[in-house]
Amino acid sequence: MPGESGVCGPNCDQVSFSGRGYTPVLESPSPLEAELSEQIPSVPPGEAGESTDPGCCGATGSGRVISLCCMLAGECGIIRQNLASGADAAYLRALGLRVNQRVRLCRAAGSWIVEVGCQGGPACRIGLARDMAEQVRVEVTVPKTEPASGSAAGN
Amino acid sequence: MTVSSSPTPPPVPSTTPEASTASGPRRVVLLGNPNTGKTSLFNRLCGVRHKTSNFPGTTQEARVGPPRDLPPGSEMIDLPGIYSLELEQSEAEICRRVLAGELAPRGEDIREPDAVLVVADATNMPRSLMLVGEATRRGLPMVVAINQVDLSRRRGIHADERVLADRLGVEVIPCSARTGEGIDLLAPAIARARIPHESPPGSEEGLFDWADELYAEMAAGVEPIKPDTLTDRLDHAFTHPVLGLVTFVAVMTGLFWVIFKLAAYPMDWIDRIFGLLGSLLGAVLPAGPVHDLLVEGVVAGVGSTVIFLPQICVLFFLISILEDTGYLARAAFVMDKLLRPFGLTGHSFVPFLSSHACALPGIISARAVPDRRDRLATILAAPFMSCTARIPVYVLLTVLLFPGRPAMQAMAFTGCYVLGVVAGLVSAMIARRTILPGKSRPMVLELPAYRMPSVRNAVMTAWDRGVMFLKKAGTAILAICIVLWWLSAYPHSPPPQEAVDMRTQAAAIAQVDVAALEEAELDGEAAELVAGAAAAETRHGQRHSFLGRLGSTLEPVFKPLGYDRQLTIGVIASFAAREVFVSTMAVQVVGVDDAEDEGVRQAIATATRDDGVTRVFTPATSWSLLIYYVLAMQCLPTLAVTAKEAGSWKWAVLQLGWMCGVAYVAAGAVYQLLRLTGTT
């Protein structure tokens, strides 16, 4: 289980607010993150080097931008895009699933449970059906290193 | 959140906005995210003195109560929990209109609130601040209550609420509706409510930035919290594809066991009280139509309604406890996967669960289903779930089918519940594919933190739902019972020759005049003859009543299902309320309505049709009846509630037609199949 030194686990960067979005305190942003942050809030899928195909589930490592349902349980990331339609997108944002928000995938077993607010502060958990999880695109910042216990692809 | 341990001093705003009126009637609205303990706070502030109505033109519940420690005539309105005022949801629209002074709960005058009490969640301030920001834009006097500080303290969540108070220029009160901490400070703060002197920029992006920046300031210099590994482990278990389902089945089994076990005692007391009341009224009132109306119509009618109250209260008490622990959201999440193939979402789970006690609260709780089509499908399917009113019928028929074999009785009983669930789900699927087409809205649900449930809150919920049940169902059922009583009691017919002969014989044995038989002290054969005569008169009266005549007329309609005249009368009489079937059959067969008596049950089991040879309850007719009562819509109050909640009587008519049609075809098919295979 992740989370020995922080909400996201031993490798999770602790962040603080800096007015707009979050700035990692312990780590510098990855080159891809820096590139993406200039394009926020609208990074068209496929323009940041990531695959828009849900088949990207096979990709590993940090910096990849994938849909939430392709993340592995225990992985942390930053929401980069919300592809849901109007009312659904607004609802997700109101729940806290908005661009630049830190998330940690807690469970991926047919339905997805994601912890929102992974900055060493208060967090809440949101359960999403697959249809909705597919609409949220996340840049993985802390990839899963151990064998996955709840692979999204497998469900 | 470790908000400061001592009460926050009133802020010194940079500007001096006028405090809202400190005396005179005040309207305070309670605004907050779901799962922030808003309703618990309302209960703390208003107690049981509140009333529940709804917002005009909507099915959204509105709770209005007089808050303690505010001037007489003040009222507090508990608004629906929302994540944002700007969402395209009916709940958000209601909140917007109430804050704008365009809407008020039914029965209240429409005007702008005098103050807004925004309930923020100490365990999730970043998101709460967004709603606080939206509320400040309304320019109304405001107080912020940071609730659940006990939980945030336990989790080591730190933030300084004085930053918020200074920035907004309003009072910010850390409190806990669970423990009562800080509650006393709320009323004085509301009385001094001020208009915030700061609000976020108008755009959504501006709001997010404002909330982020404000929270960063509040939480500056604090240690990061430790990870919540217990929640991870519990979530892993409760949402596991196998373990989650096993847990769900175990919890639900326990829930219903407790409901039936606990509710049995108060149900018995209520039964006795109404029995006693009927006897007292019967002894005091002179014989006649008024006597019959009050004893057999009103008292019996009210009694038949109130007897289900304990089950309703226990059900909602337990549901509230489960909801408070955080488990119910996980259960809905687990059920989402199972309900989705039927065109429903996990939101339908609670309405279906409640319908197993009574379809009325089940249908009412379908308000929580956000998508209209999902909600309508849920309302249409909910009455298929086996409610407690079906239990007496199930008991009678399973005992008749498997006399002296309790294991088989239990299996048949369980089968009825399973059949109801399957029929409901299949009906919902058909509705979603035909009259309510379209994809279900994907489920997105906040999973609240696990915590110890509040018994106080559960009691308040049970009380609230109980009162609502009595108001909504009691009046309708009472009216229906009176009509049914009238139909079965009138017109009066002269006693049958059989009864006259028995009375003459009894008078001869007792050596008294026939007219004096009622007053005479009889024993032995004479007493038996008089009792037999009374039963024969009741049977005769029932047969020649309006209801009996209707049964005889409709007998050919139910013949394919294997029902004779007596069973048809039973089915017709129980059209308004299923449980009436058992007492009607007892009256039909024996002439008394005590179906609990073993002798009466035996008489029902061996009763014969008008030919005097064929049994009324053969295995084929019993199975047919069992299937019919699982599937048929035999509850008029449910139809009334469906029409109200769905917004039109056409849905109630559709529900009635569909359920009775399915029941008729299924019961007919079962009877014909059994008849063909020689099981008669």
Interface membership of A40 toward B (CB under 8 Å): no
Share of chain B above pLDDT 70, in %: 90
Q: What is the mean pLDDT of residues B644-666?
A: 94
Q: Is the pLDDT of residue B128 over 60?
A: yes
Predicted local distance difference test score (pLDDT) of residue B59: 58
For residue B32, give both structure tokens.
């907050």
Residue B194 confidence (pLDDT): 92
Mean pLDDT value of segment A35-39: 43
Of A88, A90, A107, the CB nearest to B239: A107
Provide the edge-to-edge strand list for the sheet that holds B142-147.
Answer: B51-54, B61-65, B75-78, B27-32, B115-121, B142-147, B171-174
Residues of A in contact with B88 (CB under 8 A): 86-87, 90
φ/ψ of residue B368, rounded to 5: -75, -10
pTM for the model stands at 0.72
Predicted confidence at residue B627, as pLDDT, reads: 97
Q: What pLDDT, on the 0 to 100 scale, is given for residue A53?
A: 42
- Residue to test with chain A: of B232, B335, B345, most A Cβ within 10 A: B232
- For the ranges A131-140, B58-67, B249-258, B504-513, the lowest mean pLDDT is seen at B58-67
- Structural domains of chain B, with CATH: 27-218 (3.40.50.300), 492-540 (no CATH)
Residue B288 has pLDDT above 90, yes or no: no
Residue B131 confidence (pLDDT) above 60:
yes
A 10 A CB-CB count for A57 gives 18
Is the pLDDT confidence value at A117 over 80? no
Residue A38 has pLDDT above 60, yes or no: no
B442 vs A contacts (CB less than 8 Å): 88, 128-132
CB atoms within 10 A of CB B650: 10
pLDDT grade for B57, boundaries at 50, 70 and 90: low
- For residues B565 and B307, the model is more confident at B565
Query: Hey, are the CB atoms on B445 and A127 less than 8 Å from each other?
Result: yes
Q: Does the CB of A96 have a partner CB in chain B at under 8 Å?
A: yes
Give the C-alpha distances (Å, rounded to integers) separating B339 from B127, B327, B426, B570.
30, 18, 10, 35
Pairwise CA distance, residues B639 & B381, whole Å: 12
A2: alpha, beta or left? (left if phi > 0; alpha if psi -120 to 50): beta
8 A C-beta contact, residue A128 and residue A68: yes
Q: Does A17 touch chain B (CB under 8 A)?
A: yes
Evaluate if residue B560 carries a pLDDT over 90: yes
Contact B141, B29 (CB under 8 A): no
* Pairwise CB contact (< 8 Å): A1 & B232: yes
Res A20: pLDDT: 31
pLDDT-derived band at A14, boundaries 50, 70, 90: very low
| B461-509 confidence digits (pLDDT tens) | 888 878 877 775 566 667 767 777 788 788 888 888 888 888 888 888 8
Nearest to B46 by CA among B31, B24, B68, B74: B68
Residues A7-16 have a mean pLDDT of: 37
Topology of domain A15-142, per CATH?
A: SH3 type barrels. (2.30.30)
CA dist B260 and B62 (Å) reads 30
Distance CA B64, CA B42 (A): 9
Average pLDDT, integer, range B384-389: 88
Select the highest-mean-pLDDT range: A33-42, A111-120, B473-482. Answer: A111-120
> Is 50 exceeded by the pLDDT of residue B643?
yes
Q: Pick the most confident of A106-110, A113-117, B2-6, B432-436.
A: B432-436
Domain residue limits, chain A:
15-142
B630 in reach of chain A (CB within 8 A): no
* Res A3: pLDDT: 34
Q: Which amino acid type is present at position B173?
A: I
pLDDT digit string, tens, across residues B391-423: 888 988 998 999 888 888 888 988 999 999 999
pLDDT > 50? residue B250? yes
**Is the Cβ pair B442, A109 closer than 8 Å?**
no
- In terms of DSSP bridges, do strands A136-142 and A65-67 run parallel, antiparallel, or are they unpaired? antiparallel
Average pLDDT over residues B347-366: 86
DSSP letter (8 states) at residue B470: I
What residue in A sits closest to B232 (Cα-Cα)? A106
Q: For B297-322, what is the mean pLDDT?
A: 80
Measured CA to CA, the distance from residue B19 to residue B10 in angstroms comes to 12
- The string of pLDDT tens digits covering residues B515-544 is 777 777 777 788 888 888 887 887 788 778
Structure tokens at B452: 């110890």
**For residue B608, what are the β-bridge partners?**
B615
Cross-strand bridge partners of residue A116 = A103, A124
| pLDDT tens-digit map of B174-210 | 999 988 999 999 999 999 999 998 888 888 889 999 9
pLDDT at A60: 58
Q: How far apart are CA B278 and CA B304, in angstroms?
A: 12
Q: How far apart are CA B493 and CA B537, in angstroms?
A: 9
User: A148 — contact with chain B (CB < 8 Å)?
Assistant: no
B157 touches chain A (CB under 8 A): yes
Residue A148: the pLDDT is 44
* A127 has a pLDDT exceeding 80: yes
Highest mean pLDDT pick, B37-41, B48-52, B575-579, B629-633: B629-633
A1 and B CB contact within 8 Å: yes
At residue A30 the predicted structure's pLDDT band, cuts being 50, 70 and 90, is very low
- One-letter amino acid identity for B590? V
